[in-house]
Amino acid sequence: MSTTGDPPELSIVVLSWNTADLLGACLASLEACRDELPLEVVVVDNASADGSADMVAARFPWCTLVRNPRNEGYAIGNNVGAARARGELLLLLNSDTEVPRGVLPVLVGFLRDHPAYGACAPRLDHPDGTVQRSCKRFPSLLVAVFYDTWFGRWFERNRTIPRYLMDDFDHVSSRDVEQPPGAALVIRRALFERLGGLDPELWLFFNDVDLCRRMHALGAKVRYLAEVRVLHHEGRSTAQFPEFGAMWHKNRCAYYRKAFGGIGALVARVMTAWRGAEEVRRLRSSGAPPEARRRVWQAVREVWTA
């Protein structure tokens, strides 16, 4: 536990948006770890409507609470929390996780003992104890063509998507990875600040991919540590977001533009339009009202005009 005058060894940023029950479990798990090493917890609430912020203030007064006046998204919300952090190391932690005792000292100890590494991440487990296969390689242009499209289903033997999803990795052993699960990522705060934090344009998705890509460009390695396990109630927060699909495609196009320039943006936009056409055909055949199809085309237009 850190005192006010002493910088903590680890600063944990927990972003909250309408997950009061999960956030409470997450912070309770961190509370049980406070005697393991000097740490601070910064909770950033993105204008939740379920009383999340008041719950934190009442039950976890030892946390630093930041109340954003509106939903700033994942990237900006975490950047706000990181700006309040004082620790040498920064843990970006989703509110739908629970951290058992013993995990934090291993993560911190690894980065302390391995200066060539810029970040590390634990294994994530589903509530039933099975491993989440959440590490990935950086997406190539072909990933945009094959991922969740007719091309991927037609050419089902192609190796593009299995390689991207690291199907060749069991996720129960430790190794260096390009992109570990972003739900629990420990990064050196100085490196995070050098990189300018998460890109605000990548409002909800692909910001962790972009951060890891920029880390790799600087030569900073990333380690996946399977020997420590964090419980992850995957997707509980983003599932509530009504514009999930549209925002995913918009952020993906922005990422491809950053990573591959104009050709990357064009490929991502074309595949977004293709995927939109597939969805419209599905809606028409299922008898969905015209308004549903119009929403799909509106989302495609927003991607093309972004």
| Tens of each residue's pLDDT in the chain, 306 residues | 544 568 899 999 999 999 999 999 999 999 999 999 999 999 999 999 999 999 999 999 999 999 999 999 999 999 999 999 999 999 999 999 999 999 999 999 999 999 999 999 999 999 999 999 999 999 999 999 998 776 766 777 788 999 999 999 999 999 999 999 899 999 999 999 999 999 999 999 999 999 999 999 999 999 999 999 999 998 666 666 556 778 888 899 999 999 999 999 999 888 888 877 777 788 788 888 888 777 776 777 777 776
Whether residues 184 and 281 fall in one domain: no
Sign (positive or negative) of CA dihedral 256, 224, 190, 61: positive
Residues 179 and 94 in one domain: yes
Q: Note whether 300 and 175 are same-domain residues.
A: no
Q: Is residue 228 part of a domain?
A: yes
Indicate whether 32 and 77 sit together in one domain.
yes
Residue 3: the pLDDT is 44
pLDDT, residue 242, reads 58
The answer to whether position 162 is within a domain reads no
Whichever domain contains 73, its CATH number is 3.90.550.10
* Ramachandran category for residue 79: left, alpha or beta (phi over 0 → left; psi -120 to 50 → alpha): alpha
Q: Which of 188, 209, 239 is the last residue of a domain?
A: 239
231 and 283 co-located in one domain:
no
Distances (CA, A) of 59 to 53, 63, 64: 10, 9, 12
The answer on 16 and 108 residing in a single domain is yes
Same domain, 266 and 125: no
Q: Are residues 198 and 71 in the same domain?
A: yes
Element (H, E) at 146: helix 141-146
- The range of the structural domain enclosing residue 301 comes to 241-305
> Does any domain span residue 147?
no
What single letter denotes the amino acid at residue 229?
R
Spacing of C-alpha 48 from chain mean position: 19
Same domain? 128 vs 249? no
pLDDT at 5: 65
Is there a single domain that holds both residue 194 and residue 222? yes
Question: Degrees (nearest 5) of the Cα angle 201, 202, 204?
Answer: 130
The pairs formed by 25-28 with CB atoms below 8 angstroms and a separation of 24 or more are 25/98, 26/93, 26/94, 26/95, 26/96, 26/97, 26/98, 26/99, 27/56, 27/59, 27/60, 27/63
